[in-house]
Amino acid sequence: MALKEILIYPDPVLREPAEPISNIDGKVQKLIDDMADTMYYAPGIGLASNQVGEPYRIFIFDISPKDKPKELFVVINPEIVESDGLVVGEEGCLSVVDYSAEVKRAERITVQGLDREGNPITLKKEGLAAIVLQHEIDHLNGTLFIDHLSKLKRELYKRRLSKVLKEKQKNKNSTIF
């Protein structure tokens, strides 16, 4: 098992758009395996490659219930080709610590891309799966779920995060005898 560090907001890498994959080689396969190990360990239900510092258009997700077998989806070079409806749901993120909020998303979505072997895939999803697809594709575009919130909610989160980071730094710099 190879775990990768999950980057935390405000790391600037999270804001950089990911690059398309042109060659699905052994390096990409290892990245996918490492991402899966990391996501399941975290635990999370989705992970984009730029969240682990790899700026490629790859994400994985698994929304299967905990008491059911794992059903890992790998999507390379995803593109939203159709969306409709509107739903509001509570979202959180492995890269946005200790925060969740209601976000408006398309209720149904169709995404095209490649699977881990390079075969074309089309995912037509609704509900939680549609939300996860949009959330992860946002990551690949350098967008976080907090960007969908009102400016006030975003600023309140940033202030709270700033206090937490200052406290961590203070504790880190204190000497223990």
Q: What is the C-alpha to C-alpha distance for residues 138 and 4, in angstroms, rounded to an integer?
A: 20
* Strands of the sheet with 46-48, listed across from one edge: 46-48, 58-61, 73-84, 108-114, 120-126
Q: Does the annotation mark 102 as catalytic?
A: no
Tell me how far CA of residue 123 lies from CA of 45, 114, 120, 132, in angstroms. 17, 10, 10, 12
Catalytic entry in 91, 136, 155, 167? 136
Tell me how far CA of residue 110 lies from CA of 8, 35, 123, 126, 176, in angstroms. 29, 23, 6, 9, 55
Q: DSSP string spanning 73-109?
A: EEEEEEEEEEEE--EEEEEEETTEEEEEEEEEE-SEE
Write out the catalytic residue numbers.
136
